[in-house]
Copies of this chain bind each other. A is one copy, B any other.
Amino acid sequence: MPGDKVRFAIIGLDHNHAYNHARLLLNAGAELSAVYSDEPDDVAAFQKMYPDCPVKSMAAILEDRSIDVVGGSAKPADRAAISVKAMQHGKDVVADKPAVIDLDQLAEIERVQRESGRLWRFYSNEHWDRRCTIKAGELVAQGAIGRVVQTTGFGPHTPRMPTRPRWFTDHKVSGGIIGDIGAHQIEQFLFFTGSRTASIVTSATGNFGHPDYPEFEDYGEATLEGDGGVGWFRVDWHSPESIRVPGDIRLFLLGTEGYMEMRKYIDVAGPEGTEHLYVVNKDGARLIDTREVQLDFGARLLADVRNRTETSITQERSFLITRLATEAQLRARRVGGPVLAAAGPQGQSLA
């Protein structure tokens, strides 16, 4: 296949990350060969965006030996089975978060990946679709802030409940808040601390602000310890829609000789634009212009597909992210609840 065009299919349109996968691979020069979803409205919307893309059944896509890669974003509980079938049919997989909803699903993916030798690679758009994060990686590798000893991530998101499918508030289908939007955070913790092994020290989920959806988790956090450093993050569904972006998502790197902050989608009441990278070290504090940074994950992923390499993300890290996110989700302490809710919606006594 080296030199040939890589052909890919999208299976699952239940989250708009399917469009990220399509864009990522198309921009890198791959060919969109087919799409499948069990939701007809989602298929119709996808066809509006990509009118030349054939709609096929899942079986037809799996049997089509000309398709090299499967991406897409089905309902989270269904993703593992799609990954497994795709690899069993000789295809590489671009995995969205949450890639699994329990550890049995992950064990099956790991087993089939090892048996089949296919690539199963995790893609985090909060990392690889944000120029500030890519630039931060370059600067850290150059030693700009010494060793990164800790990462702190905020993954706030706007809930926009009326736009969400019913399964969104059911963590048995959605995978829960940490398995879902926490996975981005774990990927970046491993990346920036250079950790190859890591564990969850403690994690928590809760519902603080959505009494109408008692099963919904609108808050999550986890404390991590890796062989390269430590990490903590929180994720939530509390952001006001007034900011008009998915969330004021931040990443802070604490180094032995300085620190960095990424304001990924908005710099609230600050400079215009997005993907802002602040670097503070012995030379002072700077806002780095990241507009010229290339988004190259797609190109590296296609190189990995052609050359069976690990230039985009390693196989082991893809598994480790997924394992840690799932463990953090399943073992989470429950926080919030009746005591907090009883205090009433407005204000707080700060005696």
Contact = CB atoms under 8 A, between A and B. Distances in A.
Interface of A: 137, 140-143, 146-150, 152, 154, 156, 191-194, 201-202, 204, 206, 208-209, 219, 221, 223, 225, 227-230, 232, 234, 236, 238-243, 248, 252, 254-259, 261, 266, 268-270, 278, 280-287, 310, 314, 333, 335-336, 339-340, 343, 345-351
A234 B150 contact: yes
Given A149-B336, A243-B280, A348-B141, A286 B259 contact: no
Q: How many copies of the shown chain assemble into the complex?
A: 2
Interface centre among A201, A242, A256, A258 (most CB of B within 10 A): A256
Given A232-B234, A242-B285, A152 B154 contact: yes
A257 B248 CA distance: 14
A348 B141 CA distance: 5
Nearest to A219: B149
B191 A142 contact: no
Nearest to A339: B227
A285 B346 CA distance: 19
A49 to B, nearest CB: 31
A280 B219 contact: no
B282 A350 contact: no
Given A154-B152, A252-B154, A278 B283 contact: no
Contact of A285 (B152, B268, B310): B268
B343 A208 contact: no
> Which 10 A-B residue pairings sit nearest by Cβ, starting from the closest?
A209-B256, A268-B285, A143-B346, A143-B347, A149-B208, A269-B287, A194-B348, A269-B285, A242-B284, A240-B282
A278 B285 contact: no
Nearest to A218: B256
A143 B345 CA distance: 8
Nearest to A255: B238
Given A152-B152, A269-B286, A209 B146 contact: yes
B192 A350 contact: yes
Contacts of A230: 204, 206, 219, 221, 335-336
Nearest to A281: B240
B240 A142 contact: no
17 contacts: A143-B346, A146-B345, A147-B345, A149-B219, A149-B340, A150-B219, A150-B221, A152-B152, A221-B232, A227-B339, A230-B336, A239-B280, A240-B282, A242-B280, A243-B280, A269-B278, A269-B285
